[in-house]
Each structure stands twice: as C-alpha cells, then as structure tokens.
Amino acid sequence: MIVIIGASGAVGIPLIKELTRRDTHLRILTSNSASATNLKSLGVIETIIGDFHSDEDVKNVMKGASSICYIPARFREDEFEIGKRVVDSACNEQVEHFCFCSAYHPQMEQLGHHWQKLKLEEHLINSDLMYTVVQPSMFMQNLRVEWPRIIKEGTYPRPYSPESQMNVIDTDDLGEAMANILLDHRFWGGTYELCGSETLSHNEMAGIISEELGEKVDAVHRDIEDWKAWAIKKEWTDYAIRNYVNMCRHYNDHGYKYGNDLILQTILGRPATKYRSFIKKFIESQST
Ligand SMILES: NC(=O)c1ccc[n+]([C@@H]2O[C@H](COP(=O)([O-])OP(=O)(O)OC[C@H]3O[C@@H](n4cnc5c(N)ncnc54)[C@H](OP(=O)(O)O)[C@@H]3O)[C@@H](O)[C@H]2O)c1
C-alpha cells in the first residue's frame, strides 16, 4: 500500500491516475471532503481527511504503508517543518521506501521554495530511509493559469523576459515516471533531475500555441508590479509573493536552461512529451 501526502495538485493527480490504472492500493491524506470525493472518483481506495500540520494525522495515515510519496504544497513558509514531520513519521513507521517530489535546482538559496526542498533532501539523507528524490523542471501545465487570456486577448503574459530559455516537463510524464519509480525497486535510491527534451522561450511556446490554435498568440513581458497586484488580490502570502518574484528575477536573468532529458527517458522507457504534443492534448482537453 502506498500513502501519498499532497495528492490533489498538479503533480499528484496525474500520478494517481497512473497508479490507479495499474491497480495500486492507495491511501491519501487529504485536507478536505471535496478533494476526498474527487480522489475516490479516480480510484483511490482510502482517503483520510486530516492536516499535514498535525503529528497525529500524519502518523495515522502511515500505519501499515510500504511506501510514502510526499509532494509538498506550493509556497508554504513552513514547507521544511511539514516535510520533516512526514519524513520523521515515515522513519517511525519503518516504511520500505520514501519518494520525495523536490524541484529542479533546489540549490537556489534565494528561492525559498527550492531551498526548503534541498533542506528536506538533506534531512532524508540523515534519516537512513531508502529514498528516491525527483527534481522536476517547470510544468508545461502552468499554462492553465494564463489560458483564458490567451484565448480572449491573444497574449501570453509572463512576469519575466519572453526571450528567456525554459526547460519544461509535461506533468503526465512526471506522474508516469513517479509511478514507475514507486512500483519498481530498480529506480529506488536515486536523485533524478527530470525535464523534457526541449528548451524553449515563451516566444517559441507562443509560436507553437498559435500554430496549433490557428490564432495569433504573442508572449508578452508582464510588469512584475502588475503581477504583484494580482497576487495580493488573490491573497497570496508575503512569503509566496517574495519567492515568486525572486524566481521571476532569476528566470529573467538566467532562464531555466541546460536540462538533460536522458533520465526521464530512461525512467519512462520512451521519449519525453514534446511541447507541441502537449499543446495539442491541452487544446483538446479544453474543448471537452
Ligand atoms: N509549477 C511548477 O512549474 C513546479 C515545478 C517544479 C516543482 N514544483 C513543485 O511541485 C510541488 C507540488 O505542486 P502542486 O501544484 O501539485 O502542489 P499543491 O496543489 O499546492 O499542493 C499539493 C496538495 O497538498 C494538499 N494539501 C494542502 N494543504 C494541506 C494540508 N493542510 N494537509 C494535507 N494536505 C494538504 C492539497 O490536496 P488536498 O486538496 O487533497 O488536500 C494540494 O493539492 C510544489 O512544492 C512546487 O513547488 C512546481
């Protein structure tokens, strides 16, 4: 039985679809009943409603688990403390394997949400648990947030230079790779940078979107102050805004480039999904 913590987001849902397709017994800690209902509809056998801030809830969900998969929620100031609670409970439960979804370049100290993941990687090493770490690059599916503006205005706004080269991954590939890791001991014990096979600027991505939509779409540089005003309205925390802004500065100055897709190909046993194939699939999913 595999326990997943952090399951209802961009990483968890494709992973769950892949695991339930392979008849895996899953138990999930979820924070609310709406997510629990959705997870059940995807074939999850056990859902336990609780909070990853609670020692008791984290301990309870792990009883009898063979593997734990931990996906941290986005932009939490206490991300390391939550992760440490999960790792320490997994040690007490003596689970066979711990899979941690970290991020590409966790060494970036000025990006708090990366740095806290690196600290958890260190904690995992010291835990003596058998662990596997995946470090995914930027998700192709982030496009979802800007999709309404792409359709309405023909613009794809980014709060950094649309010329910056970015390494992107399809979260369906990520979910499949994580499922392969969880179910196949041969992949255990590694730390894997996972990214797609192309490095593209948002100008190039907008070009592919234009061709597939049959409508002109331009990537545009959104002023960071305009983005901040949006984030404040959406009630993002100060921590989240500060780190997102630092990330945009980093993307602006350096991009997210030089990834190598050989590891992802090896774990998938096939090539990574190309951006154009992702866009075709994404457009189709929007029309159904
Ligand atoms: N976006 C990118 O390009 C990118 C790239 C690389 C890495 N990452 C990293 O990927 C990670 C996962 O992203 P994501 O979007 O899948 O995460 P997410 O949706 O923010 O969080 C994962 C899940 O955690 C659960 N959760 C939230 N609060 C909880 C609580 N108090 N107790 C128990 N569960 C709780 C929620 O599921 P329930 O509704 O079921 O509770 C939520 O869907 C992030 O850490 C992010 O930094 C992102």
Domains belonging to the chain, first-starting first, are: 2-137+169-197+258-272 (3.40.50.720)
> What would the mean pLDDT of 183-189 be, rounded to a whole number?
98
Ligand 1 pocket mutation pick from 71, 85, 172 by most atoms within 8 angstroms of CB? 71
> What would the mean pLDDT of 77-91 be, rounded to a whole number?
98
Asked whether the predicted pLDDT for residue 288 surpasses 80, the reply is: no
Percent of the chain scoring above 70 in pLDDT: 100
* Closest-lying ligand 1 atom to the alpha carbon of residue 36: 40
Asked whether the predicted pLDDT for residue 190 surpasses 80, the reply is: yes
Q: What is the pLDDT of residue 287?
A: 82
Average pLDDT, the chain: 97
Asked whether the predicted pLDDT for residue 199 surpasses 80, the reply is: yes
Going from the Cα of 72 to the center of ligand 1, the distance in angstroms, rounded, reads 5
List, in sequence order, every beta strand (DSSP E) within the chain: 2-5, 26-30, 46-49, 67-70, 97-101, 131-136, 138-139, 155-158, 165-169, 191-194, 199-201, 218-221
Supply the residue whose CA is at minimum distance from atom 40 of ligand 1: 30
Supply the residue whose CA is at minimum distance from atom 31 of ligand 1: 51
Residues 31 and 7: their CA atoms lie apart, in Å, by: 10
The two beta strands, 155-158 and 165-169, are unpaired
Show the ligand 1 pocket: residues with CB < 6 angstroms.
6-12, 29-32, 35, 51-53, 71-74, 101, 103, 113, 136, 138-139, 142
Residues 51 and 265: their CA atoms lie apart, in Å, by: 35
Going from the Cα of 171 to the center of ligand 1, the distance in angstroms, rounded, reads 13
Tens of pLDDT, residue by residue over 30-57, are 999 999 999 999 999 999 999 999 999 9
Percent of the chain scoring above 90 in pLDDT: 98
Q: What is the pLDDT of residue 79?
A: 98
Structure-block tokens of residue 126: 């010291």
CB atoms within 10 A of CB 231: 16
> What would the mean pLDDT of 183-205 be, rounded to a whole number?
97
Looking at the whole model, is its pTM more than 0.95? yes
Tens of pLDDT, residue by residue over 216-231, are 999 999 999 999 999 9
> What would the mean pLDDT of 10-20 be, rounded to a whole number?
98
